[in-house]
Structure 1
Amino acid sequence: MFTFRRSTMGIAALAVAALALTACSSTASTTGGSASAVDAKTATSASAFGDLDGLAAAAKAEGSLNVIALPDDWANYGKIIEAFKAKYGITVNSASPDASSAEEITAITSLAGQDTAPDVVDVGPAVALANTDKFAPYKVSAWGDIPDENKESTGLWVNDYTGLMSIGYNSNVIKTAPAKLDDLLGADYKGKVAINGDPTQAGAAFAAVGLAAVQSGGTLDDFQPGIDFFQKLNKAGNFLTVDPTPATIASGETAVVFDWSYNNLAAAAATPGWKTTILPGTAYGSYYNQAISKDAPHPAAARLWQEFLYSPDAQNLYLAAGAFPVLLSSMTTAGTVDAAAEAAVGKMPDTFVSPTSDQSTAAAALLSTNWAAAIQ
């Protein structure tokens, strides 16, 4: 079954789950082998280890990598993790797959100094921008192919993949796909519409409000129309403050779900009758962001993970799941894109919008102030 990432869970539960990880190796900030003089925590590129082979040797000496909030069927992370393990022989400890972006940061703080702390995070833009003080700068070997607007200049965070904000629905319950946003205000959707988490904490839910904004006369500079739409949806009795799960989708409790296209496609593979639609007009996307914890207990493995994620192997695995990788354009030019996966997913729409760093920060502040009151 697929798993909806970025739902809200208790911080105490998160810490307990993370503490349960198997930590086979101790923290090692100074690596062994050919890179014995390298402090991996301060390395800003593979050249600090001599080359990528030197980095791989240092990471293998550490032996483990701690990841968090990576469900197997979220953007193909299950296959990506298995491919990394197979290539490098490094143990991957995966904690709390249903954690939100905000809870990933909480884990960095609450588990600081422990072998079970996250080495890396994959977070939404608002959370990434608000927590750069917790990240270590690092530039992957493919740095020059990543557009400037998709990365922090020193490598504190780097975009990795995006999807399109979509509407998944149970076609056994909803016979006709919504053709426009306001269709969801109708009586057929009473008590049926959910979003994936809290938009003040979860990237997918943040994007649902963003889509509603640009579909309701707002812009990336003004999310208020999106908040207003969900307030109307709530007053109509159609909005559910329930995080969707495989069980709620299978039972029909959450018969309509705003989520990333790759998540709704995963749901369709697991739930008979589940379909996905992209509303006509402006499409909304938002890249998730890779970052290395500055206190990573396995700093070389964290950096090797980043190198792997920005290799054609991992970027094509994102694409195969319906997530558009940040290096898609450069891979197309280089002839390294998986043509079959690209054909199955389709092209990015011409009317695609994605918020800038400043727009994400402003929208996050607005949601923090106005969201809770809107859905009371």
Structure 2
Amino acid sequence: MTVRTCAAVAAILASAGCGASPSAEKPGSDSPVKVHAASLKEGFGTFERLVEAAQKEGALTVVGLPRDWVNYGEIIDTFADKYGIEVKQLEPGASSRRALDTAARLKPDVFDLTLEEAVGAAGAFAPYKVQGWLDLPDHVKDPAGGWYAAYGGYMSIGYDPGAVPAPASFADLAKPGYKVALDGDPLRSMAAFSGVMAASLQGDSPQPQTGVALFAKLKQAGRFTAPAAANTVVTWDHVNAARAARDSAAWKVTIPRDAPLGGYHVQAISKAAPHPAAARLWQEFLFSDEGQNLFQKGYARPARGEAMLMRGTLDTEQAAKLPKSPGPPVLLTIPQTDAGKSYVKKEWAKSVG
């Protein structure tokens, strides 16, 4: 059954519990530092001791973090400057699958992954519960602390308002005038695959054949094209919103009310992290109010956003700039995702090419 979250508030993707504040623990612990511990209190006692341990390691290795994706460029630079830790950025364009497949060779400390990839690789992660743990929605975190959502978004339609009218639904894209692109190949790109699945939603239930049929119809009409030639692009709302922010007259973004497909990216620490204290400090930073607001500055929807809004720590000015939410998102279950991938793999090449 498709997972539904509580009603979205303002620009927040899904509501989260209102738990303990992520402020630093009170200092005073004299116990030995345990860099592989599953929480700040257990391993370091105070936030200051975590920072000291991470600074002694001096570096953090990340993989698959494009600097123009959800504001990661500013996030990485802020972390490095704030704590004096070098961030080694490897294969920024790597997908979640590739990040996991190359982990033995590249030796990253941390991962940013799609939820389904994280679930399948849970054994590769070191449990660690950040201080903002209770603020995170239960349905997008591993109870043991292996992985947990940092940010999310909705699948959206970006369009040139000078070329086409605002589409009210994915079905509208079949009308004359729309030259449509996906964000990649749905056989290889999760963003493109999610676009097909968003176009397939019937209520809460995905019908992959509907999505494939829409893009097959566009292909036959000569209106399924590459992003550079398109006046309409189906991708995550933070991608379309960032483009619209650069030129609001030439690009708009909408999330169809009848297809509120959502998705999360989760964070995890590698069991084999070469810099385990720096990895834990990175997670604390990403899930701090500062880190979550930096994700939102990249037009992503912070996972702790609901709790931050209630405490007055959310950047509400930036939140107001996010595309209007159509309501609670539909989150595909792992079985639904697997079934969709099987169908697309079987039918895409012969129906769309």
Per the TM superposition, whether the score is higher than 0.5 is yes
Alpha-carbon offset, residue 218 of structure 1: 6.3
| 1:69-218 paired onto structure 2 within 5 Å | 69-109=64-104, 111=105, 116-172=106-162, 174-189=163-178, 192-214=179-201, 217=202
Alpha-carbon offset, residue 347 of structure 1: 5.7
Which shows bigger deviation, 125-134 or 139-148? 125-134
Distance in 1 (alpha carbons) for counterparts of 2:217 and 2:194: 18
Match of 1:63 among 55, 58, 64: 58
Distance in 1 (alpha carbons) for counterparts of 2:281 and 2:328: 35
Secondary structure at the counterpart of residue 287 of structure 1: strand
Distance in 2 (alpha carbons) for counterparts of 1:296 and 1:66: 9
Asked if 2 retains the 8 angstrom alpha-carbon contact of 1:129 and 1:361, the reply is no
Match status 1:43 vs 2:30: no
Distance in 2 (alpha carbons) for counterparts of 1:299 and 1:365: 37
| Offset from partner CA, 1:77-133 (integer Å, 9 cap, x none) | 122112211221111122232222222222214x1xxxx432222122222222223
Relative to the length of structure 1, the TM-score reads 0.77
Aligned AA (2:120): A
For 1:309, the equivalent position in structure 2 comes to: 286
Match status 1:288 vs 2:265: yes
| 1:236-255 paired onto structure 2 within 5 Å | 236-240=221-225, 242=226, 244=227, 248=228, 253-255=229-231
Which shows bigger deviation, 285-294 or 339-348? 339-348
Match of 1:328 among 298, 305, 308: 305
Higher helix share: 1
Alpha-carbon offset, residue 325 of structure 1: 0.8
CA distance 1:299–1:70, shift in 2 (3 Å): same
Q: Which runs of 5+ in 2 are unaligned?
A: 1-29
| Offset from partner CA, 1:118-171 (integer Å, 9 cap, x none) | 222212222222222322222111112212111011122211111221112234
For 1:53, the equivalent position in structure 2 comes to: 48
Aligned AA (1:106): D
Higher RCO, 1 vs 2 (CA within 8 Å, ≥6 residues apart): 2
Distance in 1 (alpha carbons) for counterparts of 2:176 and 2:290: 46
Match of 2:211 among 218, 226, 243: 226
Alpha-carbon offset, residue 213 of structure 1: 1.2
Relative to the length of structure 2, the TM-score reads 0.82
What's the C-alpha RMSD, in Å, of the aligned pairs? 2.5
